[in-house]
Amino acid sequence: MPVVDQAGLRPTSERVRETLFNWLSEEIVGSRCLDLFAGSGALGLEALSRGASYVLMIDTVGAVTQVLKESATSLAADNVVIETIDAATLLERVPDNPFDIVFLDPPYSDDLLEHVALLLQSNGWLRPQSLVYVECDKKQPIPSLPENWRIEKDKVAGNVRYMLVRVN
């Protein structure tokens, strides 16, 4: 799968992805997924390959979303929508249909986790019992998450801290 050479773009490693999708194995089939900072598309496309019924992939960079669209076309993925838009701008809207799984791994330097998590929670983007994958630099403190979000899994690999959070 091609990846655009873009500053701040860091595809989730295979090791972390394998662990994440092992965590999601019971819940991925038939799920609606939101990949908010799609970048390389590794998480959203993997979700599709593992049986997600629908994936919305978002990125702010047109060149990135163009490559994602080409990848989706080459995979004959017709249950994916790819949009060029800022995640916070998207989340200001109320969605037509909430999501079961959200991949939340913004560029580490942008300090967006807490703000985006609050928007997801407050604007109806999540179904009850949704799962949110959160990824950040291991040197950063754990972000302050909405009160009804519970960390179910929490690991570190290299410089990455990654968590699976359940929305109650």
* Percent of the chain residues past pLDDT 70, beyond the cut: 93
**Domain spans, the chain:** 28-167
CA 47 to chain centre: 10
Looking at residue 141, what is its pLDDT? 86
Res. 74: pLDDT tops 80: yes
**pTM reported for the whole predicted model:** 0.91
Domain at 28-167: CATH code: 3.40.50.150
What are 59-71's pLDDT values in tens digits? 999 999 999 999 9
Please report, as a single letter, which amino acid is at residue 26: E
Look up tokens 């090791």; give the residue. 15
pLDDT tens, residue by residue, 24-54: 999 999 999 999 999 989 999 999 999 999 9
Supply angle C-alpha 122, 127, 132, rounded to 5: 80
Question: For residues 163 and 150, what is the distance between their CA atoms, to the nearest angstrom?
Answer: 10
Instruction: Give the Cα separation of 26 and 4 in Å (integer).
Output: 32
With cut-offs at 50, 70 and 90, classify the pLDDT of residue 11.
Answer: low
